[in-house]
Amino acid sequence: MSTLILGPGEKVVREDEPVWYHSGYSKYGYSMAGKLVLTNKRFAFVHKTVSSSGGMFGFFKKTSVETMGIKINIPLDKVIGAATETRERKKGTLNDPPSLFSKELYNVLIVSLDAPEGVENPIFEVGDPSGWATAIQRKIGGEKV
């Protein structure tokens, strides 16, 4: 279920959670977790965080996911395109440079947006980057997804 309030005639085409935003959008220079949503009218990233409370001696903790806000909310006509890229990082990190003995490959989704600040290219780590890129390309091309 989406955490966005959908407008009249708006339908969710694709959503994925958890998603890692790495960088590429000028307003947010830090990594964050959340949910990626593509509707028939817009592209959005909702920042979420996990918090724990209560408990005694590490037991009986209550864990909850909180929505922190919609960080990217762009009309679909402002989405220019999407592509995937394979990158290398230090194993077990979000995007630290690889070391000689600790490295792993991972795939990212890069979405090009015509934002008020100019062309932005936010980078997301999603479960199926190529599926996302295809869905975005088809949707901005006018196809039914």
- For residue 7, give the amino acid letter: G
Whole-angstrom distance, CA of residue 67 vs CA of residue 3: 8
Per-residue pLDDT of the chain (145 residues; tens, 9 = 90+): 446 778 888 899 999 988 999 888 877 777 888 999 999 999 999 888 766 566 666 666 665 556 677 788 889 999 999 999 998 888 877 777 777 788 889 899 999 999 888 899 999 999 999 999 999 999 888 776 6
pTM of the model as a whole: 0.78
pLDDT at 81: 92
pLDDT at 61: 63
CATH level 3 topology of 12-140: PH-domain like (2.30.29)
Domain ranges of the chain: 12-140
pLDDT at 94: 75
- Reduce the secondary structure of 9-24 to three states and give it as a string: CCCEEEEEEEEEEEEC
pLDDT at 36: 94
pLDDT at 90: 84
